Structure 1
Amino acid sequence: MPFVSAPPSTVHYEVDGDGPGLVLVHGVGGDADRAFGNFVGHFSGDRTVVRPNLSGSGQTADHGGELTVDLLVGQVTAAARAAVDGRVDLFGFSMGAAIAAATAATHPELVRRLVLVGGVADTTGPRARFNFEFWRDLAATDFGLFKRFGTLQGFSAATLDGFGHEGLAKSLEDEWPPGVARQIDLASRIDIRDLLPRIQAPTLVIGLGCDQMAPVEQSRVLHTGIAGSRLVELDGDGHMDWFVRPDEVAGLTRKFITGASA
């Protein structure tokens, strides 16, 4: 359970495996285990896999105020440099994809390759702002209802039916990070479009065709803004389906980070 200082934060992160560095960045309501528990094993056999807990998750501590993209970028870079000697491949999911992209833009010396899954570039538009403000209000009013709504938004209909009645009921027992409200607030005001042209690392963007949380159009914005990036769209997938079936995203990621020259 290592920690690293990233003023004004103390960042809690997890490290698994040994080899070239791969840093995994979670999104709203995620943490090192909740987002990547079914994913890390695909890489820890031959990679040093670093999973920082962003503010609001795990045991990471900060000033307790409003979160910013810059603050979370500092946490990602601190954990990466503490755990790995040299450049890393960077994988970001959801809001974590925006943080990963901003990290690659502002710290090009650190990032070798970049993978963005179900990501967002701009949440300031009417639909996105409306959605995240509804999350905020619902979480503050009845967190149990918020969890149920998040499950409905997060998974495709086919995946939800696959859980079955008992599986869906059990999913509501899942523990969410204590600082999710602060993460929702940041998610409602992200706009990294001006940073995208600064990204130098080869980039793979994976869009999720049935994504209600980060609509696939956001992945297209990321792809258009990052010169030379590659876009793959998984047509039937909801935002969090890959948590349950990580093989396809893991395979695309491994092929990308190992298949081209550094």
Structure 2
Amino acid sequence: MENTIKDTSSEDFESGYSEVNGLKMYFEIYGQGKPLVLIHGGGSTIQSCFGRIIPLLQQNRKVIALELQAHGRTSDRNTELSFEQDADDVFVLLQNLQITKADFFGFSNGGTTTLQIAIRHPEIMDKMILASALARRNGVVQWLWDFMPQASVENMPAALKEAYLQVAEDPKGLQVMHDKDARRMIGFKDIPDQQIAAIQMPVLIINADKDIITLEHALELHRWIAGSSLAILPGGHGGYMGEITTLETGFTSGQLTVLLLEDFLNK
């Protein structure tokens, strides 16, 4: 294992790469305190997904943000994307960073990856926040499945394309990332109910009232996971945290979201 860390303390964070299952995985570390791991959504980077709330989260936490296979600054491997492999990659990264226990906040596809971490590597997880996470195919609005077969880089959200191109070493990787993400979603299979019901750690489920993840699905997750908490917030997919494709002018709801997260994490 090799970690390469660039000291960016003047920018209030450290960044680096770690050798992870054949990947050169990029990560950033902010603040001090108990570790909170942020796992981004499909097609995203750290900044496009979490850039608006990291400054708030780092005030009381050691925030570890990362980029998954083929996303942002992390390299690709000659395999398709899977949530299970992403979960294993995150686990190895944290081992490399000598993190033995952490809280996790996963958004969208990152929420599904976080579910897989809870299933495959529960020993590293203390508390889990699932933000707009998908566990079953019927948990997403139908228009998304109707759109996926026609998905292309050309109709990918411009903000996500720009965010990728701002940080990636090779702009040709955009096509690869997009196509692998699209194939993963087209082939998405339900996580078995018994695996979700077996989750033991404290869980907070967050969904937006105009999300692409249905309110019914968020409620199902809440019912499957004993003792979990559920919060429904106003806005679209990720609007409650300022995700770049739903970021609104004068965004302020991040403060409310972070207060909600801290209340859950500090109990």
How many angstroms apart in 2 are the aligned matches of 1:16 and 1:35?
15
SS at match of 2:122: coil
Whether contact under 8 Å (2:44, 2:160) holds in the other structure is: no
Match of 2:260 among 252, 256, 260: 252
1:226 maps to which residue? 225
1:139 maps to which residue? 152
Which one scores higher on RCO, CA 8 angstroms, separation ≥ 6?
Answer: 1
How many angstroms apart in 1 are the aligned matches of 2:49 and 2:202?
24
Count the aligned residue pairs. 231
How many angstroms apart in 1 are the aligned matches of 2:235 and 2:50?
17
Larger mean Cα displacement after TM superposition, 179-188 or 14-23:
179-188
How many angstroms apart in 2 are the aligned matches of 1:50 and 1:214?
25
- How far apart are residue 84 of structure 1 and its match? 4.9
How many angstroms apart in 2 are the aligned matches of 1:173 and 1:6?
25
How many angstroms apart in 2 are the aligned matches of 1:100 and 1:129?
23
2:204 maps to which residue? 204
Q: How does 1:1-262 map to 2 (within 5 A)?
A: 1-123=15-137, 125=138, 131-132=144-145, 134-135=147-148, 137-140=150-153, 143=154, 145-147=155-157, 174-176=162-164, 178=174, 179-188=177-186, 189-194=188-193, 195-211=195-211, 213-234=212-233, 236-242=234-240, 243=242, 244=247, 245-259=253-267
- How far apart are residue 24 of structure 1 and its match? 0.5
How many angstroms apart in 2 are the aligned matches of 1:172 and 1:8?
25
User: Measured at CA, do residues 42 and 130 of structure 1 come closer, stay the same or move farther in structure 2, by a change above 3 Å?
Assistant: same
Q: Compute the TM-score of the two structures, normalised by the length of structure 2.
A: 0.78
Whether contact under 8 Å (2:130, 2:206) holds in the other structure is: yes
* Unmatched 5+ stretches in structure 1: 149-170
- How far apart are residue 132 of structure 1 and its match? 4.1
User: Measured at CA, do residues 92 and 204 of structure 1 come closer, stay the same or move farther in structure 2, by a change above 3 Å?
Assistant: same
Larger mean Cα displacement after TM superposition, 21-30 or 185-194:
185-194
Whether contact under 8 Å (1:50, 1:80) holds in the other structure is: no
Give 2:260's aligned amino acid: L
Whether contact under 8 Å (2:141, 2:214) holds in the other structure is: no
Whether contact under 8 Å (1:22, 1:89) holds in the other structure is: yes
2:169 maps to which residue? none
- How far apart are residue 218 of structure 1 and its match? 2.3
Q: Compute the TM-score of the two structures, normalised by the length of structure 1.
A: 0.79
Whether contact under 8 Å (2:29, 2:62) holds in the other structure is: yes
Whether contact under 8 Å (1:21, 1:88) holds in the other structure is: yes
Q: Deviations over 1:10-64 (max 9, x none)?
A: 3211111121100011111212111011111112123211111011212212323
2:4 maps to which residue? none
* Unmatched 5+ stretches in structure 2: 1-14, 166-173, 248-252
Q: Deviations over 1:50-92 (max 9, x none)?
A: 1110112122123233111111001221233333533100001
1:154 maps to which residue? none
Give 2:185's aligned amino acid: A
Give 2:256's aligned amino acid: E
Larger mean Cα displacement after TM superposition, 22-31 or 3-12:
3-12
Give 2:178's aligned amino acid: V
Whether contact under 8 Å (1:207, 1:219) holds in the other structure is: yes
- How far apart are residue 193 of structure 1 and its match? 3.6
